[in-house]
Each structure stands twice: as structure tokens, then as C-alpha cells.
Amino acid sequence: MGDVARVHDALRSYDADGTFGEEDYLALRRMVQGVGRVDSALLDGFIGLFFERHVHDDVRRNELLGLSHAELEKAVRHRFKQVVAGGQDSHQAWHALSAHVRDALEALAGPGASGYPSSLTTRQGFSAIAVEAAVAAVWSDLRRKPSAKEATQELFARYVAGELPAETSQSSSREFPAVIGARLDAQRLARGIIQVLSDDEKDLMRAQLDGQPIDLWATGRGVSRATAYRMLSRIKSLCRVEFDERSNRTRLEVLDALRLQL
């Protein structure tokens, strides 16, 4: 059975009883691979978003169910491309805002008392003056100087997210598939692990996942054998904490996600 036929049957099963399995997911993944030039580390996240908007939603799922195989393939790839484009708009807006936030934090001497501005943008894009005032308001709310990430998150949620195209599911009679939820959870766990590792620890984890002996890695990196083993011990301790009470399948999903993200 080809991928398109498999996905078509999977849509019928999901519509009938909420069933959507691992092989169904992999067929969908192959159908959209290469669309929108998505980085492999982000592909599962975009597929999850596509599923939420176009399969989990009853109305949009029924639209897909009424198509022939050829029409379904074209529609899935087109809709996935739209999801990716929307995600990239969000990504670009986040990075543009975060640059202004960092500049504001460097310029500000303390919190503000004038509250949040009505808007952060002009016709030319983000206003440095408005962003600075908004960051000062965040500082005042927190009663401490925020980090760049904290301030960007708050301002993005307050000003930007509502202006981006909203395509969330309106109605669904089915649960979100566990197979997709597990992959997204694994990616979140992997990101959490990577965020607390030093550059050397990330490089060591990458080498370990590739099967490189630790002594060889230490020699190539120019660190002592004892230091390398201390770093490896910390990585293992961190993974034990993150993997606690997780299934073997989830642990394997996390390792796959780490390989892609490192």
C-alpha cells in the first residue's frame, strides 16, 4: 500500500474510532517531507500542528475524506505548506522582537511607571521606543529585571501572537493521537536537556549518540579523561531525572530527538 492510500485509510479509521497508529504517522510524514524546506528537527512539530488544524478538526477532516487519492496528496502537501509558512512568520516575528528586547534591556536603568504601550509597531516594523517602554513595564510587573527570554515571551504573547493568523481547531469529536503526542513530548524533553548542557557537554552527548569512545572524544576535544567522565556522569544523571517514569518508547523517541537537535 502506498503512503497516500495508507493516509486515506488512516483518516477513515481516525474519523470512525479515533485510531491513528505509528505506521499511519510515518506515511503522513513521508507525504509531507520536503514541503516548505522544513529542518528535520522541526518536522514532527509542524506535522503535529498540521494534524491539529486539518485532521483533528472535524470539518477539515471531512473535507480531506471526500477527496480522491490524487486530490488528497495535493491537498495535504498544500495545507502543510501553509502551516509551515505560518510557523515561519511566527519564528521571524519572535526573532525580530527579541533583538529589540535585548537592546531595550541594555538601555534601561530600571522599571517603568507608565504601563504598557498600546502597540509595539509602526509601518516600518517594531518601534524601539515602544518596545523599551513595554520591557520597562514587564520589569515593573515582575519587580525585578527580566531576562531577554522572559520579556520576549511576555511581549510576544501580549502583542504579536494575536495578530498572527489563527487556525486552531474549532471542533473535534476525537482525541489527539497518542503517537503524535509522544513525539512532541519527546522533542520538548530533548530541548529541556539541551538547554542546560554546556557546549562541551553537548558535543560529548553527540559523540556518545554516534558511538564514539569517550577517551577518543576527550583527546580530540583537548580535555582530560577525568573531566570527560565527570561530564558524562552529569549528562547521565540529567537524563535519569528526565527519563524517570517514562516508557522505553518515549526514551527512544527522546534519543532520536536529541540526535536531530544537537
Q: Give 60-72 pLDDT, tens digit per residue.
A: 999 999 999 999 9
Residues 100, 146: one domain? yes
Q: Could you tell me the pTM of the whole model?
A: 0.55
Residues 187, 241: one domain? yes
Residues 156, 182: one domain? no
Q: Measure the CA–CA gap between 93 and 91, rounded to whole angstroms.
A: 5
Task: Assess if residue 173 is contained within a domain.
Answer: no
- Mean pLDDT, residues 115-135 taken together: 88
The number of distinct structural domains making up the chain is 3
Residues 63, 117: one domain? no
Show the cell assigned to 77: 502537501
- The helix (H) or strand (E) run that includes residue 125 is strand 125-126
List, as own/partner pairs, every contact residues 18-21 make where C-beta atoms lie below 8 angstroms and the sequence separation is at least 24, other chains included.
18/174, 18/175, 18/177, 20/177, 20/179, 20/180, 21/179
Average pLDDT across the chain, whole number: 84
- Mean pLDDT, residues 133-160 taken together: 88
- pLDDT tens digits for range 97-110: 888 999 999 999 99
Residues 79, 100: one domain? no
Per mean pLDDT, which range of 43-47, 97-101, 131-135 is the poorest? 43-47
Backbone phi, psi, residue 174, to 5°? -125, 150
- Mean pLDDT, residues 225-252 taken together: 83
